[in-house]
Structure 1
Amino acid sequence: MLLTQGWRRYVWDKDSPSVSLPFLSDEIQGRQVVGKRKKQKEVGNNSQLLQVSGPNADSRFLMTDSSGRFTIPTELMEALRGGYVYVKPMLDKDEYKPEVFFDGDFVQADSLRRCCNSFGAYQDISRLYSDEWAMDDFVVSQDSSILLSEVMVTGTKGRVFRDKMMGRLDSLMQMDVNAPYVCTTCKHLINYRTDYTAHHNPLGKCPAKGRVPPIRGKSYVIAKFKYIGSDGYFVVEDQQTIIYQGIFYTEEELLRMNNLFRIKGYYGKREFYQPDELDMQSPIPDARNVLLWKPDIITDEQGKAEVDFFCSDVNTGFVGVIEGTDGIGNIGSLNCEFRVVKY
């Protein structure tokens, strides 16, 4: 829903009353388990060091207890906020094969949700699509042009990591000594394919004096060699020109290769965009199709609360979804409908 309209900044009201039995925690709890049985006795009953990092690669350290359990406190979560939280065991991954398991935060919430008679945190599809479209459902500007309700923009650029931690890990893997490179002497691309790599130096007695990293999108020549005769020399069996696309590692591969485990953490403060009285006087049509998102509404003792918001220029029906929880962890939801008409 937020991506439909967009948000700028959201500030959580810290003065909000806390619940007595929260089903969601502000902390992350989990356990480190040693995967190698021969090393379990050695590590057992001893605290272990964990490295905890945020999306910007900021790192802190904490200790597990004797059973391997750990807690990432709220203060550390706030310091590393902005996306994922990464946990790295300091035990050798090959010798001990450590794994990190996080406690599920939504187990109790999901169990309560299954007990509800109805739960509708989404719009009815029948309300979103219709065979007949009325002109009143569109926003028409003063020059009689119709504003589109949605525009999708796609690009052809290569993959970009939005998380600095994952981007840094990918860059380090690309700098591996066994990564593809271009020989500055024979200009061949080496280590790009396994069967097109061996016996590079015998190619024309290539001395292989230097190497440079390949450039994505550029054409290079790769060669396959074959051993000939009892004298022991090699000839080029096959030669191809390819366009280097680089080596792509998935996020799961990067995490596994670096012995990292991650879980979603705190995000930055957000504020959902809402126009003020000055914005409403603008001659530019207001095409918002999401009018309000407010997750910190506190009711009075009778369970009543009041919110104010401006409607957009889209003359159509809207659906409101209200979700909440009481002080003992019970959750509930309710839908309402209203229509915006032009006078």
Structure 2
Amino acid sequence: MGVSIFDRLYKDNLDSKNILTHYQLSTQLNGRIYDPGYYFNKENTNRDNALDLLLLTQGWRRYVWNESNLKEESIFFKTLLTDNITGNLRLENQNKKAPDLTPKIVMIFTADPLKGQDIFTTDSTGMFNVNSGHFKMSERAYMYLKPMTPEKPKYVINIRDDAFQTINFNRKDRTENYPLLKLQKEQVNHPEKTFTQLYDVQKLNAVVIATKKEKVFRDKYLGTLDSLAKLNTGNSDFVCLAGGSGRPILNCFMNNHHQGKTRSPVEGEKVTVLLGKNREVLGADYPHQDYFGTREIVYKDPNQNLTEEELLKRFNLKMIKGFYGKREFYQAVYDQVNINDPFPDFRNTLFWKPDVITNEQGEAIIEFYCSDINTIFMGTIEGVSETGLLGTENFKFKVRNSKI
């Protein structure tokens, strides 16, 4: 059962939707139904006749719901989302011929080693699924996927995670059956305020706000990868001074320019790169005849100040989100420490729990503390039995401060 207890001030009389109206009426008819709760309110003596008229307007003549009807209806419903994410392990350079690598293995893990890891194989085409068990392993955290393949030829992982795109695309064809209030915008004419200029004020042309805070990653594991990248001493970049002009050339392949006299480039300095015929940047191992022109760039150390995407690419990883753990609704707890807290409790919602489970007799006990608001509180209970029967009930009670 789902139970909610709230201030009657927030009871919307125009919103008569509940679990009965949703599953037994709104989802079975086309279009938006005005006041669907009317047909389920026992105080309305003519609700049965009104319901017949409503069904007749959409061509209903006889409503029989059995197992055969369910099987026929299931044909027209297509599952939009699943609890799996599909991935593909393939060669980075798709023009190369893939070696006979069977099986292809992928490792999935989180930044917390205590949450474990898993290794699974792909099918013959490199396809694999990240299932719900993997997501539970990474509650409120990120997961990382790494191909367990040889370094050459390099394999990379592609992930298809388009759940939100699927939802937004299919929303276009769905009818909203939730009663939406038509808010009227009140037009108020405000007098125009004129700015009064003060002569004894010093004006600033511009204000620049800067921070010295270090780069913060979404996950601590990325910070670890960033530290490992900075410790990498495999940077072979160098610059030379071309022809005594004082212009540093990055990774110059023309030995007559520097004659072996080089230095390491400095992060952020302007350097000249040599371009090939297709405007690609040439390195020290390119032949001289491919030289076409130059271009000036700002040097960036390949192991410093990497973005999250660059870090993941450097270590050949894919990052996906895990399950977001359920959050429990806040409930005040008054014990001997805070029972005499002078600060008033102005909670408008006293209790909200969508997963109350009954015992074998169908009974459940809930406990909650009232707030300091003297008002009438409304309660709503909606539930479903083990056989699929639906039910709803409302109640109310008044809270009164005994000290007044």
TM bucket by the smaller chain?
0.3 to 0.5
TM-score (norm: length of structure 1):
0.46
- The structure with the larger Rg is 2
